[in-house]
Amino acid sequence: MVVAASVVVAAGAVAGMFSALRDDGRADDGRADEARPAVTASPRPDALPVLPSPSPSATPSAPAGSGSPTPSAIARPAPERTEPRSAAVAVSRLYRHPRSQVLDWVRAHPSDPRREVIASRIGDHPAAVWFAAFSPGTVTAEVRAVTSGAAAEGRVPVVVPYAIPGRDCGGHSEGGAPDLAAYDDWIGRFAAGLGSGEVIVVLEPDSVAQADCLTEGERAARFASLARAGRVLKEAAPRARVYFDAGHSGWHSPARQAGWLRQAGAGSAASSDGVFSNVSNFHATADEIAYDRAVLAALGGPPDLGAVIDTSRNGNGAPPDGQWCDPDGRALGRAPTLGTGEERIHAYLWVKLPGESDGCKGPPGTFSPSYAYDLAR
C-alpha cells in the first residue's frame, strides 16, 4: 500500500503570511525554536522520552497496508546512537516555517493540557512545507515566500512539490496536475520561486515507488517528466539539493527501486542529489539507512549522491501488521538535522508533520491534536 503523504500547504496559503524569526531565535509565539535538545535518551531507539498523558484519546482503526519485507541481503548499520554534539548547530540551519497547522493550533489553545508537549516536541522543530495544490498562477510567489523567509534567517528550508498527475494512484491523497504537460509548466514555475539560497527539495513523494500502478507507457512518461523536473530545479536554483522518491525499506527491493530511479534521472548530478525514503511512513532509521545505501549502490552515479530520511514518526518503527494509515502506537523519531554522522545519509528530516493525518484520523493532511499528542508523549 502506498504511503499517504500529508498535504500541508495549499495554493495561496503561504504568500504574505509569515513573519521572520527574531534574532534571539524565538517565533511570534515567544517560544525558543531551538531550546530543545536534538535528541534525548530514551528506552526506544528512535523516540523522544515518554511523558504522562492528561487523558487517553480514541483512535479509529487504520486499514492494513502491504509491502514487501525488508530484503535480508541489506546489511544493517550499527545500533542506534544519539546525535553528535554538532547536531544542535546542524538543526539550527534547518528552517522552521512560522505558520503551520500545529503552530496555529498551539496559538489558538493556550489552556489545553496537551499544548506544552505538542508545542515543544513538534511545533518547535523545523519541518517541510508542502505544495500540494495545482496552482500555476500563484505557486512561484508561494514558494518564494518560504525560501526568502529562510534566506533572511540564514536557514535551509525543506519544500515538497506534490502535484504529479495521478498522484497516489487515486488513493487518499489523489489529485495533482491534469496532465504531464501542465505539470512540467507548474514545476518550472515552482523552480522560479526557489531563489539563490540553499534549499532541500523532496520531489514528489510516491511518484517513483508507486509507479507500478501505471502502464509501461505511462510510467516512462512520468519518469521522463521527473527527470526534466530535476534538471529544471537544479538549473533554476544552483544551491538546491533535489532528492527523488525511493519509497521505504518495507516496499520494493533496492535493485528494483534503483532501476526506476535511474529511469527518472536520479542517478544524474544534473538532476539529483540523491534519494529520500520513509516519507509519511514509520520504518526505523537503521532500516532506512541500510536500505538507502543499498539503493544508492545499485543506482550508481556520482559518489556524493546521498539520502535524506523522514524520521518524523518512526520512533517505534513500523507496525508489525503493516498498517500505514495513522496506525496506533507510533512515536516521534529523531529530530531533524543536517548532521547525521552516517555515511551517505545527508539529513534526517521531518517531511510529514507529526499530527497531520494520512487519511484515517481525518482527511489527508488535517491536524489532529490527539494524534499529535499520542506521537509526542
- pLDDT surpasses 90 at 74: no
Number of neighbouring beta carbons within 10 Å of residue 22: 11
**Side-by-side strand order, sheet with 240-245:** 129-131, 158-161, 199-202, 240-245, 274-277, 306-310, 345-349
93 and 156 Cβ atoms separated by less than 8 Å: yes
Amino acid at 331: A
Number of neighbouring beta carbons within 10 Å of residue 108: 9
- pLDDT surpasses 90 at 326: yes
C-alpha cell recorded at residue 361? 484520523
Of residues 52 and 199, more confidence is placed in 199
The Cα–Cα gap between 184 and 24 comes to: 41
Of residues 316 and 31, more confidence is placed in 316
Is 356 annotated as a binding-site member? yes
% of the chain beyond a pLDDT of 70: 76
Find all residues with CB under 8 Å of 96, minimum gap 6, and list them. 21, 27, 33, 124, 125, 126, 127, 155
**Predicted local confidence at residue 173, as pLDDT:** 83
- pLDDT surpasses 50 at 15: no
263 and 307 Cβ atoms separated by less than 8 Å: no
Q: What is the mean pLDDT of the chain?
A: 81
**Mean pLDDT of the region 123-144:** 97
Among the residue ranges 193-207, 306-320, 355-369, the one predicted with the least confidence is: 355-369
Burial of 102 (0-12, 13-18, 19+ CB in 10 A): buried
**Predicted local confidence at residue 51, as pLDDT:** 35
Condensed to tens digits (0 to 9), the pLDDT of residues 23-69 reads 223 233 333 333 333 333 333 445 543 333 333 233 222 222 333 33
**Mean pLDDT of the region 127-144:** 97
Is 97 annotated as a binding-site member? no
Q: Domains plus CATH for the chain?
A: 91-376 (3.20.20.40)
Q: What is the value of pTM for the model shown?
A: 0.80
Supply the residues annotated as catalytic. 206, 358
Is 324 annotated as a binding-site member? yes
Of residues 261 and 74, more confidence is placed in 261
**Predicted local confidence at residue 46, as pLDDT:** 53
Terminus-to-terminus CA distance in the chain, angstroms? 28
H or E element, residue 369? helix 369-376
Is 281 annotated as a binding-site member? yes
Is 278 annotated as a binding-site member? no
